[in-house]
Amino acid sequence: MSVLRNSGSTKLNLPAYKPGATDDPLLAAVQDAAAGEFVVLGEIGRAPTGVVGYLARDTKSRRLVVLRLTAGSAGDYLLEVVTEIDTSVPAPPTECPRCRAPVRGWGKFCTQCGGNLWSDRAAGAGRNKDDLLAAVKDATQGRFEILGEMSRSGGGGIVYFARDLESGKIEALRLQQETAGDFSIGLTGVLQRFAQPIAGYKPPRRGGGGSS
């Protein structure tokens, strides 16, 4: 019975997580609750409020989701399925590319200098989704295992979740448009590129010969 998938949430009761513990009872509880419906791929991050986000894959649709765990009282937790990235989802910590101030969450602008952290200008529009994903995988080969993508609410943007092959941690990568036909990949909110612009992925020509 698909309790979590059909309802979108479920309640858990478990011991509180103790920082520094070798075993994470929260992760184990989430894996148990999601078994048969979602494969938990790993933790995304923990917000100062105590909310924990886990990246997971729907066993039926194969799409990525975030399982958001929120603590209540007396060991009670609420586990919810999030299908689109929003401000309630914990994000991996990054820094502003302009002023280097710490950036937390998925906000569009840096709270210190006002820099635009999502300047992808609808990257990927007009391109074949599978071809674009293949290009991302090719650009990150040897450093990241691309797990899939999710949409970002409140302004758009494509978030590619990936596993760092060296550390094993899950990172959030974003696609940023450099020119009309070239893109670069980088950590979410960070303009520094670790890969060269993806070459050869140009917008498809539109029929009729007219301007678009």
Determine the residue type at 200.
G
Could you tell me the pLDDT band of residue 210, with boundaries at 50, 70 and 90? very low
Q: Is residue 30 part of a domain?
A: yes
pLDDT of residue 81: 95
Mean pLDDT of 39-51: 90
In whole angstroms, what is the distance from residue 67 CA to residue 95 CA? 24
Mean pLDDT of 152-169: 81
Q: Which of 37, 65, 82 is the last residue of a domain?
A: 82
pLDDT of residue 87: 84
In whole angstroms, what is the distance from residue 14 CA to residue 28 CA? 10
Q: Is residue 95 part of a domain?
A: no
Helix (H, G, I), strand (E, B) or coil at 147: strand
Q: Give the CA count within 13 Å in the CB-facing half-sphere of 29.
A: 21
Q: What average pLDDT does the structure give for the chain? A: 76
Domain that residue 140 falls in: 117-187
Q: Which of 66, 58, 108 is nearest to 85 (CA)?
A: 66
CA-to-CA separations, 188 to 118, 119, 150, in angstroms, rounded: 8, 11, 13
Q: Do both 121 and 183 map to the same domain?
A: yes
Q: Is residue 173 part of a domain?
A: yes
Q: Do both 75 and 133 map to the same domain?
A: no
Q: Do both 64 and 133 map to the same domain?
A: no
Q: Which of 67-76, 100-109, 203-212 has the highest mean pLDDT?
A: 67-76
pLDDT of residue 209: 43
Task: Give every strand in the sheet of 38-46, ordered side by side.
Answer: 9-13, 76-82, 64-71, 52-58, 38-46
Q: Which of 81, 70, 77 is nearest to 14 (CA)?
A: 77
Q: Do both 13 and 57 map to the same domain?
A: yes
Q: Is residue 20 part of a domain?
A: yes
Q: Do both 61 and 17 map to the same domain?
A: yes
Q: Is residue 49 part of a domain?
A: yes
Q: Do both 78 and 134 map to the same domain?
A: no
Q: Which of 23-27, 85-89, 106-110 has the highest mean pLDDT?
A: 85-89
Q: Is residue 199 part of a domain?
A: no
pLDDT of residue 79: 94
DSSP-derived letter for residue 136 is H
Ranges of H-type helices in 2-148: 3-7, 25-34, 129-139
Could you tell me the pLDDT band of residue 125, with boundaries at 50, 70 and 90? low
pLDDT higher than threshold 90 for residue 82: yes
Q: Is residue 108 part of a domain?
A: no
Helix (H, G, I), strand (E, B) or coil at 43: strand
pTM: 0.78
Q: Which of 93-97, 166-170, 193-197, 206-210 has the lowest mean pLDDT?
A: 206-210
Q: Is residue 103 part of a domain?
A: no
In whole angstroms, what is the distance from residue 39 CA to residue 44 CA? 14
CA-to-CA separations, 80 to 68, 83, 210, in angstroms, rounded: 5, 10, 48
pLDDT higher than threshold 60 for residue 113: yes
pLDDT higher than threshold 90 for residue 52: yes
Q: What is the pLDDT of residues 27-42, one digit of tens each?
A: 888 999 999 999 999 9
Q: What's the domain count of the chain?
A: 2
